[in-house]
Amino acid sequence: MSTVKKTLTPIRPAQRRREVVENDEFAAFARRIIRAHGRRVATGDVEALRDLVALSSAIDDAVGQAVIGLRAFGYSWAEIGSRLGISRQAAQQRWGGHA
């Protein structure tokens, strides 16, 4: 059984980026599902309204987890903030305490 030691070498930007081709398609699929859920509620499924609202909380949790993961992967607050259309300070204030 072998063990892998973590390196202390800083991660360079070229090393960080992982190409994941299905992200756009996956996000579009998720949006279609959420919109379909909204249409279902709109047709009279009042019991599902609470579940639809809970998706907002689940998305917030997923974004927080993604930001924490990106920080651990070496991305700066400025890089994360720019992708979200907010300042690095705003990103750090919102998610910095969760790391």
pLDDT tens profile 15-58:
566 666 678 889 999 999 999 999 999 999 999 999 999 999 99
pTM exceeding 0.75? no
Which pair of tokens denotes residue 96?
């910095």
DSSP state, residue 19: -
Integer Cα distance of 7 and 85 in angstroms: 32
Q: How far apart are CA 66 and CA 44, in angstroms?
A: 34
Per the CB < 8 A criterion, the answer to whether 95 and 65 are in contact is no
- Each domain of the chain, given as residue ranges in start order, spans 22-98
Cβ(35)–Cβ(98) below 8 Å: no
Cα separation, 28 vs 50, in Å, equals 23
